Amino acid sequence: MANPNYVSRHNPDYVFDYDPNEDAWTADLSTLDMSRGERFRDDTFWPFFERLRKEDPVHYCPDSINGPYWSVTKFNDIMAVDTNHQQFSSEPSIVLFDPEEDFPLPMFIAMDPPKHDVQRKTVSPIVAPNHLAQLEPIIRERAGALLDSVPRDEVFNWVDKISIELTTQMLATLFDFPWEDRRKLTRWSDVATAAPGGGIVESDEQRRMELMECLQYFNRLWEERAAAPPRADLISMLAHGESTRDMPRQEFLGNLILLIVGGNDTTRNSITGSIYALNKFPEQYKKLKANPALIPSLVSETIRWQTPLAFMRRTALEDVELGGKLIKKHDKVVMWYVSGNRDDEVIANPNAFDIERENVRRHLSFGFGIHRCVGNRLGEMQLRIVWEEILKRFEHIEVMGEPKRVYSSFVKGYETLPVRIHA
């Protein structure tokens, strides 16, 4: 059924039909569009990607709400694109829609060298090993306090109580953001990635208005940090960095969104995904409780199995042949990490959740090449600490129903997950 609210200035005439009961194995591949948020909200996309991997691994969609694009669905093809920035550019966008001319949001993840490299280098000290070592006891103390605060023998929403709150506290620390306003970071992250009409924002105009509020708030912080000696927070790093201190305000906003979403959505959905996965595969939960030394492997397997960001986009800089298909210059190319992480030619029994998996760190969720996730070690550390503290406290966290999933083909996440902790 069509969603009349989901309109786009990029393609206002697009007819957005969706049938949740569509059969993946008989669907017309010539018109198949995998970018529909409904497929991810309803968790119906898996067999479509399985078919594409088998029958059309480099697939052309001639029409979508954001125009035509290629889907790359197999592990090795995705890696080939991701590591080839000479032919596949991150500019102008790493999502399917292009920036609006009157509201550009440049960010270093959507830049090519050399500008990408110098901006990334400016913020990378925040996740250097010595700084992570300083953050670990802070994260552990907060995780423990949050876990101690949740109710026992009572159903509550794990996403809100633990996943969002823990990651938002971490973001507030990284930005040195006013503690009492930290949930603004969660809101801005949701607004930045939400599809209009999906329950977060109703229009592009609302999104723009709320993101401008984000910029105004952070501008005040920027001015304070620029006038003070350099400190070890992200705003101070940007305000004093040689390559970033004179950046235009829209570029500041773009990089803020990148850092907020990168620090919020990926970690919070991995934390929730680990609870959901261990309940779907209870034998793995038993193994974990019997042997907490498996926690690092649990972390990597969760990030593969969950794949918190479903894709990244590139744009072809020239005609390129991939998988027997000719991708034309300027074509959009979507690397579906969520599909590549289930490629059974590379990952054995990929639909299973296996915390004793061989080569468990071999996954696509952090990307490859120059754009490999800058905060991957911080995200892994947060998930590891959460589970170390969970196993100290609780015999079992029981999922009490199916989650409500995010309406997005980009952020693969959860709005709610009802759980109960047995006293």
For residue 190, pLDDT over 60 is answered with yes
The percentage of the chain sitting over the pLDDT mark of 70, rounded to a whole number, equals: 96
Rounded to an integer, the average pLDDT of 13-24 is: 72
- pLDDT score at 16: 57
Q: Which pTM value belongs to this model?
A: 0.91
**What is the model's pLDDT at position 50?**
98
DSSP 27-51: S-GGG--TT-HHHHHTT--HHHHHH
Q: Is the pLDDT of residue 119 over 70?
A: yes
Compute the average pLDDT of residues 170-195.
90
The predicted structure's pLDDT at residue 86: 95
Q: 373 pLDDT band (50/70/90 cuts)?
A: confident
What pLDDT does 416 receive? Answer: 97
Residue 28 reports pLDDT greater than 80: yes
Phi, psi at residue 363, to the nearest 5°? -150, 175
Please give the average per-residue pLDDT across 46-60, as a whole number.
98
In angstroms, the Cα distances linking 51 to 22, 32, 34, 66, 257 are 13, 11, 12, 23, 34
pLDDT over 90 percentage in the chain: 68
Q: What is the mean pLDDT of residues 348-355?
A: 98
Q: What pLDDT is recorded for position 330?
A: 98
Q: What angle do CA 37, 29, 31 make, to 5 degrees?
A: 60
2 — pLDDT class (breaks 50, 70, 90)? very low
Distance from C-alpha of 174 to C-alpha of 260, rounded to nearest angstrom: 10
Kindly tell me if the per-residue pLDDT of 341 is higher than 80.
yes
Tokens coding 127: 């996740």
pLDDT higher than 50, residue 4: no
The average pLDDT across 51-57 equals 98
Q: Which of 73-77, 88-92, 369-373 has the highest mean pLDDT?
A: 73-77
For the chain, the average pLDDT equals: 91
In this model, does residue 255 exceed pLDDT 90?
Answer: no
Considering 9-18, 117-126, 358-367, the range whose residues carry the highest mean pLDDT is 358-367
Residue pair 297/356 in contact (Cβ under 8 Å)? The answer is yes
CB 161 within 8 A of CB 150: yes
Residue 1 has pLDDT above 50, yes or no: no
pLDDT at position 192: 86
Residue 104: the pLDDT is 74
Residue 103 is given by DSSP the state B
Q: Of 44-48, 56-60, 114-118, 303-307, where does mean pLDDT reach its minimum?
A: 114-118
